[in-house]
Amino acid sequence: MDHSAQGGSSPDWSLVGCDIISNGEALSVHFLSASFTFHAQWLDDARCDHGPSRTALSAFCQKPAVARILKTHTNREGAGVTIDVNWLDGSVSSFPAIWLRIMGPLVGEPGKASPPLPTWQSRGWLTDSLKIPSFDYKAIFTGTAQTCEATAVSIMDEILMAPNTGIVKITGLPAPNIESEREKTNTLVTQVLKQIFGAVFQHPRRSGEKTFNVASHHEEDSKRAAGLPNYDTSQILLPHVDHAHYQHPIQVQGWYGLEGESENTFVSGLQALNTLLEEAPEMFEPLITAPMSVGRVVHYYDPPLYQGTVDTAVTMYPGTAQVKRIRWHPHLTGSIVAPFDEFRKARAAHHRLQEIIRRDTHQLKVILQPGDLYLWNNFTILHGRERVLQVPRTGVGQTVPEQVVADRYRALKIGQLRGYLEEKWLVHMPAAQLFHLGELLHCRSL
C-alpha cells in the first residue's frame, strides 16, 4: 500500500496513492478525480520503460500470463511522478502516473466515483447550436515553425477531436491566382491542407496534387456531369461523404469558393445517428451490419476508371460504442446487399437516416461565396449542394487521406507532449488519448 497525497492546490489528475489487490494480480491507482484498477498482466505487457518496441522474448503474445506485483513505491523526484513496481520475477518497472491516468478510462476498471468514459452518443450538432470556428490564414503560414505547428494542431483538434464541430473556416486568404485555380495546380486549398497536414491525396489518374473543380460553365465539367452527379450543378447534390466509393475514403476535405455563389449544406452525421437512436433505436444496428454496394465509372479518363466497394454505412472503432466513420453517398450507392431476410429492415434504416439528414434541424445551409474556404472531417460531416445562386460558379476541392492525417496529428501531438512524458510512453497511445492528455495537462478535461 502506498498513499502519499500531495498537499496544496493540486490538479484533479494528481496521484493520491495505490493499492496492490488480488494477491498481486491487480493494482488500484487513486487520483484526486478518479480511481482505476489495472490488471498486473496488462501493466507488464504494456510497459514501455525499455522502449516502445518488443523483442521476441518481450512480445506479450509470447509471454505466459504470470505477472504479479510484490510491492510499489511512489517516486516524486524529477519532472514527473512515477509508480515503481517490483515484480515477482525480480524486475522493476517505473510507470508515469499521468500515463496511467490517461489509459485508465480505456483499460482499467473505474472506481465508483470515477467519471465515465465519454461516448459518441452525446456528441454532434444541430443547426441552431453550431458556430463554425475560424482560423486566420496568416496564423497557418507566418510566424515561427512552433507557432505554425500550434495553429495546425488547434485546427486538427477542431476537425478530428471535437465532434461538436468537426468543421472550420479559414479566413483572411490572399487573392487567388485564377489561372492556377482553374488549372487545378498549386491552388489555395492545396497549399492550406499541405501546410496543416504535410501532404494531400494523390489521385490514381489526376497527375500530382491536382484538385477536383466543380464548375457551372466549363465544357470539361459538363461532360463529367453526364455520369457524376457532383459535377452537374443544375441538380441537388444530397449530403454525402466524399470518396464513399473508395476502399479507404479520405478523412479530411477542403472546399474553396473561387467564383460565383452556391447554397451548400453541412450535416453532423454523429447527430443524425444520435437522433436515430433516440427515435428508432432498433434501426441503428442495420447501419453497422448490413452491407451496401457503392461504385462509379468515370468515362472521361482513358481508359475509364472503375471504382467500387462493399461496406456498411457506419463503421465503429473496434471494441467500442464509438463511431469512427460514416460512409454515405445516396447518388453512388447502388443497393443494399444484405441477405434476403434482412433487406426490409436494412432499407428502412437507410430511409429513416436519410430523412433525418434532410431535416432543417440537422442540415445547415451555408452560402459559399468567392474566397470562402472550409475544412471538415469527411468521416463525420456530410456535405451537399442545394443550388447554384450565381454563375459562373467554380468550387475547388482537395482531400487528405486517413493515413496522412493520422501520421501528422500523431507527430505534432507527440512533439507537444514530449516535454511532459517520455516519447516511448506516447508511441502506442491512441490518438484520442493523446488529445485527452493535452487537455488534462492544461486542466481542461479528461
* CA pair distance 187, 178, nearest whole angstrom: 9
127-131, 174-178, 205-209, 250-254: segment of lowest average pLDDT: 205-209
Could you read off the pLDDT of 223-237 as tens digits, one per residue? 554 555 566 778 899
**Quick check: 379 and 404 in contact, CB under 8 A?**
no
Share of the chain above pLDDT 70, in %: 90
pLDDT score of 11: 67
Q: Which residue would you say has higher pLDDT here, 329 or 442?
A: 329
Q: Name the DSSP letter for residue 302.
A: S
* CA pair distance 28, 198, nearest whole angstrom: 42
- Strands laid side by side in the 35-39 sheet: 2-3, 15-21, 26-31, 35-39, 109-110
pLDDT score of 6: 45
Q: Which residue would you say has higher pLDDT here, 251 or 420?
A: 251
Could you read off the pLDDT of 370-395 as tens digits, one per residue? 999 999 999 999 999 999 999 888 99
pLDDT score of 232: 73
C-alpha cell at 126: 444541430
Question: Does position 369 have pLDDT exceeding 50, yes or no?
Answer: yes
49-58, 264-273, 282-291: segment of lowest average pLDDT: 49-58
E-strand ranges in 125-251 read 134-136, 167-171, 212-215, 237-240
Tell me the pLDDT band of 8, cut-offs 50, 70 and 90: very low
**How confident is the model over 205-229, as a mean pLDDT?**
66
C-alpha cell at 59: 512480445
**Quick check: 231 and 347 in contact, CB under 8 A?**
no
Tell me the pLDDT band of 203, cut-offs 50, 70 and 90: confident
223-227, 247-251, 254-258, 296-300: segment of lowest average pLDDT: 223-227
**Quick check: 264 and 397 in contact, CB under 8 A?**
no
**How confident is the model over 39-47, as a mean pLDDT?**
96
Question: Does position 134 have pLDDT exceeding 70, yes or no?
Answer: yes
Tell me the pLDDT band of 441, cut-offs 50, 70 and 90: confident
User: Using CB atoms within 10 A of its CB, is residue 321 exposed (0-12), middle (13-18) or buried (19+)?
Assistant: exposed
**How confident is the model over 413-438, as a mean pLDDT?**
95
Tell me the pLDDT band of 7, cut-offs 50, 70 and 90: very low
Question: Does position 257 have pLDDT exceeding 80, yes or no?
Answer: yes
pLDDT score of 417: 95
Helix (H, G, I), strand (E, B) or coil at 311: strand
**How confident is the model over 113-140, as a mean pLDDT?**
82
- Residue 159's CB is within 10 A of a number of other CB atoms, namely 28
Cα angle vertex 274, ends 270, 278, to 5°?
Answer: 170
Tell me the pLDDT band of 76, cut-offs 50, 70 and 90: confident
C-alpha cell at 226: 453526364
Question: Does position 94 have pLDDT exceeding 50, yes or no?
Answer: yes
Residue with cell 498482466: 41
**Percent helix / strand / coil, the chain, rounded to 5:** 30, 30, 40
Tell me the pLDDT band of 120, cut-offs 50, 70 and 90: very low
| 285-294: burial string, b at 16+ Cβ within 10 Å, e else | ebbeebbbeb
Tell me the pLDDT band of 192, cut-offs 50, 70 and 90: very high
Sign of CA dihedral 120, 198, 375, 349: negative
Q: At what angle do helices 188-197 and 145-156 cross, to 10 degrees?
A: 100
**How confident is the model over 48-74, as a mean pLDDT?**
89
pLDDT score of 230: 62
Residue with cell 502506442: 428
Question: Structural domains in the chain?
Answer: 2-117 (3.30.2020.30), 122-400 (3.60.130.10)
pLDDT score of 115: 63
Question: Does position 195 have pLDDT exceeding 80, yes or no?
Answer: yes
290 — alpha (psi -120 to 50), left (phi > 0) or beta?
beta
Tally of residues, the chain: 446
* CA pair distance 339, 361, nearest whole angstrom: 34
CA neighbor of 39 nearest in space, from 13, 20, 58: 20
Could you read off the pLDDT of 296-341 as tens digits, one per residue? 998 888 899 999 999 999 999 998 889 999 999 999 999 999 999 9
pLDDT score of 347: 98
* CA pair distance 442, 398, nearest whole angstrom: 33
**Quick check: 314 and 306 in contact, CB under 8 A?**
no
Question: Does position 434 have pLDDT exceeding 50, yes or no?
Answer: yes
pLDDT score of 209: 80
pLDDT score of 117: 54
Could you read off the pLDDT of 262-272 as tens digits, one per residue? 999 999 999 99
What residues contact residue 18 under an 8 Å CB cut-off, 6+ apart?
A: 1, 2, 3, 27, 28, 29, 30, 72, 74, 83
Widest CA span of the chain, in angstroms?
77
Tell me the pLDDT band of 217, cut-offs 50, 70 and 90: low
Range 417-426 contact pairs with CB under 8 angstroms and sequence separation of 24 or more: 417/441, 420/79, 420/80, 420/98, 421/80, 421/96, 421/98, 421/99, 422/96, 424/48, 424/49, 424/51, 424/52, 425/48, 425/96, 425/99
Question: Does position 148 have pLDDT exceeding 70, yes or no?
Answer: yes
- Residue 92's CB is within 10 A of a number of other CB atoms, namely 12
The helix or strand, by DSSP H or E, that contains position 148, with its residue range, turns out to be helix 145-156
pLDDT score of 233: 74
* CA pair distance 186, 208, nearest whole angstrom: 10
C-alpha cell at 427: 508511441
